[in-house]
Amino acid sequence: MSIENPMAGAAEEPHPEIAGLLEQMGAEPMPAFSSLSPNGARAFAREMFPDPEEPTQVGDIMELRITDNDIPIRVYIPEGQGPYPTLVYFHGGGWVIGDLDTHDETCRVLSSEADCMVVSVDYRLAPEHKFPTPLEDCYAAFEWVSENAETMQVDTENLFVGGDSAGGNLAAAVALRARDTGGPSIARQVLIYPVTDHSYDTPSYDENGEGGMISEDDMRWFWNHYLRDEIDGKHPYASPLQAQSLDDLPPATVATCGLDPLRDEGAAYAERLRDAGVSVEHHNYEDCIHGIAQMVVEPMDLTRARELLDDTVTDLRRTIEE
């Protein structure tokens, strides 16, 4: 799908905190993901997002392995009594990098601030496991949470799916597949700067394809590891923006960043959802780069990262209260 006119704005300059981060990255150049092996990129990502000295506190944490494929999950349980509103969360990382630990603090903040149980899914990664295996793991975990709602103290009236970047792509695909197959009901899909289209033909790629947290070369590297062939890239479960219909999907929160190569495809997905009659909250952070939802740990701990998570929490709480 060609996007000629941006539907989300961009600031002329990044937020001062982000400008400082980019300046530091320029002074100490970091390797491009596209220059590394998958294992090298995974190790580098773990170094980029260190463990906080004082993690955000939640009521309890469980580590489980579920389904026939033995998928690891980490369950963040809020204070108070269940059943709990529950967000099944898929981490970002281009389907190649990322794990439960790289997104631990993000999930802690969401659980604590939204009084919501968060189930973080450690799906299998590409290129060892190409499309559709990561999606199959995510959907299996989502179904498992629904099927074990009584045991897990899940409020099935408030069952959400969400994720950031490639995790946002997987969350959107889980919502599509649940609709297509009559799967469990989803109260809201939370798509944080999601990948929605196997295409690089947008103004935001032209504007932001270099110099940020991810580049066009990085995205090509991620997609090439994820897909088995070019035909996969046209499948709506890989490219949700290419779905023929977005009717009857759950309400959505879509977050985009003005200085992100993925801005326009995320905004286009929000617009298509609206056109299909889906209730959408689209938050665009004009002065932000890709990846900020993870930047809530020192030495980053960005104000705008906290604002993005606060807006997400507000949407979740509103859904719970309705």
The set of catalytic residues is 165, 260, 290
Note whether 265 and 196 are within 8 A (CB): yes
CA distance 240 to 233: 10
Q: ∠ CA 102-108-112 to the nearest 5 degrees?
A: 165
Query: 82, exposed or middle or buried, with CB in 10 Å at 0-12, 13-18, 19+?
Result: middle
- In this structure, which amino acid lies at residue 94? G
**DSSP class per residue in 183-224:** ----SEEEEES----S---SHHHHHHSSSSSS-HHHHHHHHH
Q: E strands, the chain, where?
A: 60-66, 71-77, 84-90, 117-121, 154-164, 188-192, 252-257, 280-285
